[in-house]
Structure 1
């Protein structure tokens, strides 16, 4: 059981305070019924109970459900009901006013939050009920420092006349969780663009695709791309995992490219990002970077796919 992982969640005050504020904004003491999906050690469910929820149903399928049961007992949380299964497996009738789920990853969708909330919304949520979070925005920006790129190209520096190019190619077909600084990103993150917007309150697809494009105001060397996300829990309350935002336990993702791009002023850099997530197949990511000259001629195209970099 990854209790250390759950400790990092509990230690994340940015996350915790945002969820507490969101729950406080929508819970009517003595009336509101809440479903906490992916409850972990039970923190959000306990918050809802403390804020006066009439009943709280906590869904948790992992081993940590045993910890949650003890935590609920220790806190004498009589209005909290632990259901030790995945919410999609629960077949009994349930009618709630609020669904809350913190099933977000460094890549926002890697824990299948879209499909999980869609199922819960359709089967459990009362008319007029609320979903927390209600939306996610995903950002992308070019990376202009060599730090992570140099790390990933260790295969090229092994020496002794050895060729490890095959392994090098696999390394560059993976996405990496890294903490980026504003200085690592083009124009100190001011260049960040939205590549995907997700409405979790209505029907939406787990397969995502988006693109972004930059016409460079000055010459730059592009080593890869960084992505991060911003979540809205309820209107006016949320947080971001971006380099300019208060630090959370989440970090950014770094998407490598086959070779750094030397771009001149007025050249165009673009990236096309694709993802699909499911409980059975996990998360697949693919990305294509294109460098065009000032007049639109394609100079370089780098296509990458996580399936080409993964080893079981």
Structure 2
């Protein structure tokens, strides 16, 4: 829409955090990374903005002021501050499927690890480093931790009698200096939707600098999985509640509830297997030897689901699996799966709800794609965009919904 800027307001520069497609002439389309001039912020939800001489309303949640300070864009003080306390470490160590998988990886490769040099990146309390030292006979273990937890990790290493093997380095991967290259790089870098917080970038930088040619990465690969699902409980709590609470008509608030509760993903969702509308699909696979940092900016996967039982299509649920290749050519590989049919982990699953549920019948086809777009400003965040179509016909319409993922 062509128009003039609002009088009396000085325009401010903002950057698009995700793609937005206008619905109607009064809205303004833009793409991730576009620089917009915001002329009016009188509404909390919609702002009046300009792009390439065109004007229109844009959703405020899709915009942010550009950050010039690289450290601020990584939010390192907050990020490493969280890992400097015991709260997150208690959650991770209490996650038996996660921690036992890493222990089993070390144990099953103990003979081949003898004499090897191992880096444990983002070691936290050092549990994986201690597994290496106590269950195998590595030449050395470099336990790398950027947060203040490293000071306690050093004491835990001594307390467990592993100081001759394990050396703690308190530094970021980007600034790290080690005595030499390593044979194995192990890390627990995975976040919600696999990539959230983008610790993976640090792992890849450490790989490129410190892993010997032919060395091993643990995990060796990782996979993102999607399934269309029902979510009756969540929909009732967040949307249907407003229809007649206490016998009063509060339906006016449903549109506001939709924007507030359904515009973001639900972390730590516990999907029941019976709420899956079809078999899940692996949509994105990362090979930890070949993937590059630049690949993380934008990842896309496609899906084609056949509905296996009639029900209500409320949205998509996402989880990941991590795979650990053996150091021996014919040795067994291990898997950490965070899906609904595996033992529950602290990640659980992530739920992405549609604005309105859709009734689907057995045999219906849901075809589409998922795109993970890294935030151009806040480098630990991303947006997840689903595009889908049910029973593709000439009259059916492709639906798209973008979910910003923030800590």
1:170 deviates by 3.8
Aligned equivalents of 1:284 and 1:114: distance in 2?
A: 13
Aligned equivalents of 1:123 and 1:269: distance in 2?
A: 43
Aligned to 2:289: 201
Of stretches 145-154 and 238-247 in structure 1, the one that deviates more from structure 2 is 145-154
Q: 1:106 to 1:74 in 2, by over 3 A?
A: same
Q: 1:154 to 1:36 in 2, by over 3 A?
A: farther
Runs of 4 or more off by more than 6 Å in structure 1? Answer: none
1:203 deviates by 2.7
SS at 2:285 equivalent: strand
In our comparison, the structure showing a higher alpha carbon Rg is 2
SS at 2:151 equivalent: helix
Structure 1 residues without counterparts, runs of 5 or longer: none
Q: Is the 8 A contact 1:93 1:124 kept in 2?
A: no
Deviations 1:90-144 (A, max 9, x none): 1456311110001112321114243222211111011221110000111111112
For 2:141, which of 29, 52, 56 is the aligned residue? 56
1:37 aligns with 2:127: no
Aligned equivalents of 1:270 and 1:285: distance in 2?
A: 20
Q: 1:224 to 1:169 in 2, by over 3 A?
A: same
Of stretches 202-211 and 247-256 in structure 1, the one that deviates more from structure 2 is 202-211
Q: What is the CA RMSD across the aligned residues, in angstroms?
A: 2.6
Q: 1:138 to 1:30 in 2, by over 3 A?
A: closer
Q: Is the 8 A contact 2:277 2:310 kept in 1?
A: no
Q: Is the 8 A contact 1:39 1:59 kept in 2?
A: yes
Aligned length: 306
Aligned equivalents of 1:246 and 1:111: distance in 2?
A: 24
Q: 1:260 to 1:85 in 2, by over 3 A?
A: same
For 1:12, which of 95, 98, 106 is the aligned residue? 95
Q: 1:74 to 1:218 in 2, by over 3 A?
A: closer
Q: 1:198 to 1:100 in 2, by over 3 A?
A: same
1:277 deviates by 4.3
Q: Is the 8 A contact 1:275 1:283 kept in 2?
A: no
Q: Is the 8 A contact 2:242 2:251 kept in 1?
A: no
1:63 deviates by 2.7
Deviations 1:148-199 (A, max 9, x none): 2223326844755754624522422211121111112115xxx111111111
Aligned to 2:384: 286
Q: Is the 8 A contact 2:102 2:128 kept in 1?
A: yes
Q: Is the 8 A contact 1:155 1:168 kept in 2?
A: no
1:15 deviates by 1.8
For 2:325, which of 199, 213, 234 is the aligned residue? 234
Q: TM-score, normalised by structure 2?
A: 0.68
For 2:263, which of 163, 173, 177 is the aligned residue? 173
1:248 deviates by 2.0
Aligned equivalents of 2:98 and 2:167: distance in 1?
A: 23
Aligned equivalents of 1:91 and 1:280: distance in 2?
A: 27
For 1:131, which of 213, 217, 225 is the aligned residue? 217
For 1:214, which of 289, 294, 305 is the aligned residue? 305
Structure 2 residues without counterparts, runs of 5 or longer: 1-83, 327-332
Aligned equivalents of 2:183 and 2:117: distance in 1?
A: 5
Q: 1:154 to 1:44 in 2, by over 3 A?
A: farther
Q: 1:219 to 1:164 in 2, by over 3 A?
A: closer
SS at 1:232 equivalent: strand
SS at 2:304 equivalent: strand
Of stretches 195-204 and 18-27 in structure 1, the one that deviates more from structure 2 is 18-27
For 1:141, which of 227, 249, 272 is the aligned residue? 227
Q: 1:208 to 1:161 in 2, by over 3 A?
A: closer
